[in-house]
C-alpha cells in the first residue's frame, strides 16, 4: 500500500469507513496524536481543482481517533473505562444499527414499473 498516494475525500472516507465530513474536519481542525500534538491532513490541489488527501495521514487520523480515550468514535473510550474497572459506561446498551437493513423492514418496497405503480393505487 502506497501511503503517499492522494485520494479524493469520498475515497478517503470509504477507506476508513467514516463520513466525508469527518475527513474535512480532520483537515480543518486536525486530530490529537497519541503524543498529544495536534496533527492535520496533508492535502494537495488536484488538476480538476479538488483536494487530494494523503492516504497515510488519513489512516493515522482514523487510528489515533479510534484509540483516543476522549474520542466519541471507536472503542477507545470503552477500553479506557474497562481499564479503569468500569465494565460498561452507565446506561450503555447495544442498539441495532440504523441502516438500510432496518429501513427495509419498515418501508414497503418501491414500485419499479408503471404497471406496479398503477396496481398499488
In the chain, where the domains are located: 6-83
Give the whole-number percent of the chain exceeding pLDDT 90: 33
DSSP 42-92: -EEE-TTS-EEEEHHHHHHHHHHHHH-TT-SSTTHHHHHHHHTT-SS-TT-
pLDDT, position 35: 84
Environment class of 71 (CB within 10 Å of its CB; exposed 0-12, middle 13-18, buried 19+): middle
> Is the predicted pLDDT of residue 55 greater than 60, yes or no?
yes
> Is the predicted pLDDT of residue 6 greater than 90, yes or no?
yes
pTM (global) more than 0.75? no
pLDDT band for 59, please (50, 70, 90 cuts).
very high
The position carrying cell 468500569 is 86
Over range 64-70, report the average pLDDT: 83
Yes or no: say if 74 and 18 are a contact pair by the CB < 8 Å rule.
no
Question: Each residue of 9-39: pLDDT tens digit?
Answer: 999 999 999 899 999 999 999 888 888 889 9
Least confident piece of the model among 30-34, 76-80, 91-95, 116-120: 91-95
Yes or no: say if 52 and 6 are a contact pair by the CB < 8 Å rule.
yes
pLDDT, position 82: 57
pLDDT, position 81: 54
Amino acid at each position: 500500500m502506497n501511503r503517499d498516494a492522494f485520494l479524493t475525500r469520498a475515497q478517503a472516507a470509504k477507506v476508513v469507513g467514516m463520513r466525508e465530513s469527518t475527513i474535512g474536519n480532520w483537515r480543518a481542525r486536525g486530530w490529537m496524536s497519541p503524543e498529544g500534538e495536534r496533527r492535520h491532513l496533508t492535502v494537495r490541489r488536484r488538476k480538476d481543482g479538488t483536494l487530494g488527501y494523503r492516504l497515510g495521514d488519513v489512516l493515522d487520523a482514523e487510528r489515533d481517533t479510534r484509540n483516543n480515550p476522549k474520542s466519541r468514535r471507536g472503542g477507545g473510550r470503552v477500553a479506557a473505562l474497562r481499564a479503569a474497572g468500569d465494565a460498561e459506561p452507565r446506561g450503555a446498551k447495544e442498539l441495532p444499527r440504523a441502516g438500510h437493513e432496518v429501513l427495509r423492514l419498515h418501508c414497503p418496497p418501491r414500485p419499479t414499473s408503471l404497471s406496479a405503480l398503477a396496481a398499488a393505487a
